[in-house]
Chains A and B, each alone.
Chain A
Amino acid sequence: MSNELTDAIVGMREDDALAIVGRELDAGVAPTVVLDEAKEAMTVLGKRFECGDAFIPELIMGGEIMKGISELVKPHLRGPGEAAKRGVVVIGTVRGDIHDIGKDVVVLMLDVNGYEVHDLGVDVPTQAFVDAIGRFKPQVVGLSGLLTLAFDSMKATVDAIAAAGLRDRVKIMVGGAPADRQVQEYTGADGWGGDVAAALNLTAQWTGGEA
């Protein structure tokens, strides 16, 4: 497998990356192989982020390059050909809060890391989380928020999941700029994260895999 594509993405060379994908597809490289190379690049970026060697811009730009590559690859894909997912995650910004930047980066990175992610959006009512757990059977639920009013919404969501008898079936993480251990304890969640690396680590841990 060529690492040329991976290097181009990690180096944030968008035009090069798209040109390489075009060349590889023309040469008959299997589209799934091309996608795997691209995903490998995102995994490298995720690891660099965790070590403090890459930052939010690399993740956003990397995601954008991935989007471009998917568009190029899509016409070449036959059948679903999806790899088995590493786990299922339901995620959303809690009731009363419409902030989505942090959540969206987490969704992107969970997705490229092989998780099946159900993003419920922003200002998500507690019942919508409960319904999604019943429907998608996730191992992990992510509750995001930026405002201080999110603390009570997160707590209400955890309580509603418990009241529905689903608390033992899921691990719950709370995340966002103001999240910390204090918020985790207050809301009754199982873990907290202030950035995407923490969300990836918790999810890996709770789905029995490596980060």
Chain B
Amino acid sequence: MAATGEELYKQREQRFNDIVALKRPDRVPIVPHVIHYFATKWQGISNRQAGFDHQAHYDAIRDATVEFGWDFTPTNGMFAADGYAALGTTQLRWPGGDLPDDASFQFVEDEYLKADEYDEFLSDPNGFTLTKIFPRIAGNLQGFAQVPIPPLFWMANTYYLMNVGGALLAAPPIRSALESLLAMSDAVAGYFAADAANAQEMAALGYPRTWGAPVIPAFDVVSDMFRSLRGSTLDMYRHPEQLLATIDLVQEAQIGLAKMVMQITGNPRVFIPMHRGAGGFMSDEQFEKFYWPTFKGLVLAIIEAGGVPNPLFEGDYTPRLKYLAEFPPGKVAGHFDKIDRVKFKEVLGDKMCFWGNVPVSLLCTGTPRQVKDDVKELIDLFGDTGTLMLDSGLGVPDEARPENLHALREAAEEYGVF
């Protein structure tokens, strides 16, 4: 008798957990990490529409999961376009905003926190975010910069709350900004509803979702979101103490966030997107000073809280393998982009499973034969332990050729059953 959805779900999750724990599974699973526009594109839905029509997007992800024989359903890496519109975000460019319908959303990296504002930020991160960062990242939140906002603790009593707070909330720029935030919240509520319904539907069909939510390492929060690559790089030389103080401040928040998202999503797998720690992006000395301590701390905190840290090592982490060997064996589901797979096997083969690494370029521009050959090479390399999960280096690429995703599955079936 065919397995029920519930049984399949348990089998798949157990297989994933076994592989992470370095136990030999019955076969090599396909676990696509994240998905953006692939499924909707494949169904002829524009990128613009995919951002607004959450139901259509999740239905397309469901259909792709079944069609291409994935063992897990990839987590949706896109957010609500109607939310972007409500905010008038200037930090993202997106199809339907000022990008054409077939473009993908892109983050606009900038110094949202200037180098000479570190002390101001560190002394009052919340106030700074409200009055400086919000207006810089969203056109519709300019109001928070237009009206002087007193420290909230002034209003820590009923008299001042009504006098100061009441007057503040009557100011039209503040009202307009608050209305934009509420409209954003409504948009996000629609997205979350579709998201939760999809997780339930997929679970009933037998597919666990790859991860619940992302938690960005502290250095990447500062570099990506606040200071930009250029800014954080110059800070390593010009303002190292302030950079480190900001990283420490963020670290505490990120560990709290990791625990919170595990609870909210009910998914023990926490995605850790990594950008600036890759080989080439800094020296070992800088990595040890600015990146590694808080990244390692985040990974260990997730393990301690009963979760499965799922760092996506974007770029080439071959030069950092010696650091990754410090993690406790069998606890980290590392996903790799461009790493030297042979070197990985030598250094980390008995400490961490191997996930990803099929070149994105191959899935987008190669032939099915090339894809099958690459998967065979991976299975030949890791077949002795079986601690391998298949995916591209970065989840499902938007431009993947469907025939290549079929080839990935065929290769897993042909070569990956032990």
Contacts of B234 in A (CB 8 A): 60-61, 64
Contact of B237 among A56, A61, A178 (CB under 8 A): A61
- Answer whether residue B399 sits at the interface, using C-beta atoms and an 8 A cutoff: yes
Which size bracket describes the interface of B in this complex?
35 or more
From B143-151, B277-285, B303-311, the one touching the partner chain is: B277-285
| Chain B, 333-355, CB within 8 A of any chain A CB | 338
- Answer whether residue B361 sits at the interface, using C-beta atoms and an 8 A cutoff: yes
Contacts of A52 in B (CB 8 A): 319
Contacts of A96 in B (CB 8 A): 99-100, 102-104
Closest to A58 in B: B283
Contact of B281 among A55, A148, A180 (CB under 8 A): A55
A61 to B286, CA, bound (A): 14
| Chain A, 73-124, CB within 8 A of any chain B CB | 96-99, 101
A151 to B359, CA, bound (A): 13
A27 to B330, CA, bound (A): 64
- Answer whether residue A149 sits at the interface, using C-beta atoms and an 8 A cutoff: yes
With A14-B237, A56-B281, A60-B234 as given contacts, are A151 and B365 in contact (CB-CB < 8 Å)? yes
A72 vs chain B, min Cβ distance (A): 18
Residues 9-24 of A, flagged 1 when their CB comes within 8 A of B and 0 if not, give 0001010000000000
B359 vs chain A, min Cβ distance (A): 6
Q: Report yes or no: B230 in contact with A60, Cβ–Cβ below 8 A.
A: yes
Q: Report yes or no: A182 in contact with B362, Cβ–Cβ below 8 A.
A: yes
Contacts of B233 in A (CB 8 A): 56-57, 60-61
| Chain B, 219-277, CB within 8 A of any chain A CB | 229-230, 233-234, 236-238
B260 vs chain A, min Cβ distance (A): 31
Closest to A102 in B: B229
Contacts of B104 in A (CB 8 A): 96, 147, 149
- Answer whether residue A177 sits at the interface, using C-beta atoms and an 8 A cutoff: yes
Q: Report yes or no: B360 in contact with A14, Cβ–Cβ below 8 A.
A: no
With A12-B237, A57-B283, A96-B103 as given contacts, are A101 and B361 in contact (CB-CB < 8 Å)? no
Contact of A151 among B280, B314, B370, B399 (CB under 8 A): B399
A62 vs chain B, min Cβ distance (A): 10
Q: Report yes or no: A55 in contact with B282, Cβ–Cβ below 8 A.
A: yes
Contacts of B399 in A (CB 8 A): 148-149, 151-152
Residues 129-167 of B, flagged 1 when their CB comes within 8 A of A and 0 if not, give 000000000000000000000000000000000000000
Residues 189-207 of A, flagged 1 when their CB comes within 8 A of B and 0 if not, give 0000001000000000000
- Answer whether residue B59 sits at the interface, using C-beta atoms and an 8 A cutoff: no
Counting residue pairs across A and B whose Cβ atoms lie within 8 Å, the total is 84
Q: Report yes or no: B361 in contact with A182, Cβ–Cβ below 8 A.
A: yes
Q: Report yes or no: B360 in contact with A178, Cβ–Cβ below 8 A.
A: yes
Q: Report yes or no: B280 in contact with A183, Cβ–Cβ below 8 A.
A: no
- Answer whether residue A186 sits at the interface, using C-beta atoms and an 8 A cutoff: yes
With A56-B282, A57-B282, A101-B229 as given contacts, are A151 and B361 in contact (CB-CB < 8 Å)? yes
Q: Report yes or no: A182 in contact with B366, Cβ–Cβ below 8 A.
A: yes
With A57-B283, A147-B106 as given contacts, are A183 and B361 in contact (CB-CB < 8 Å)? yes
A185 to B398, CA, bound (A): 20
A128 to B68, CA, bound (A): 39
Residues 92-108 of B, flagged 1 when their CB comes within 8 A of A and 0 if not, give 01000001101110101
Most A-side CB within 10 Å, residue of B103, B104, B365, B366: B365
- Answer whether residue B315 sits at the interface, using C-beta atoms and an 8 A cutoff: yes
With A14-B237, A148-B399 as given contacts, are A183 and B282 in contact (CB-CB < 8 Å)? no
Contacts of A195 in B (CB 8 A): 280
Contact of B283 among A55, A64, A179 (CB under 8 A): A55
A188 vs chain B, min Cβ distance (A): 11
A-B contact pairs, 28 of them (CB 8 A): A14-B237, A14-B238, A55-B280, A55-B282, A56-B229, A56-B282, A57-B233, A58-B283, A60-B229, A60-B230, A61-B236, A96-B99, A96-B100, A97-B106, A101-B109, A149-B104, A149-B398, A151-B365, A151-B399, A177-B314, A177-B338, A178-B361, A179-B361, A180-B361, A182-B359, A182-B365, A183-B361, A195-B280
Interface residues of B (CB under 8 A from A): 93, 99-100, 102-104, 106, 108-109, 229-230, 233-234, 236-238, 280-283, 286, 314-315, 319, 338, 359-362, 364-366, 370, 397-400
Interface residues of A (CB under 8 A from B): 12, 14, 52, 54-58, 60-61, 64, 96-99, 101, 147-149, 151-152, 177-180, 182-183, 185-186, 195
The 6 closest A-B pairs by CB, nearest first: A186-B365, A182-B361, A148-B399, A148-B397, A60-B233, A57-B233
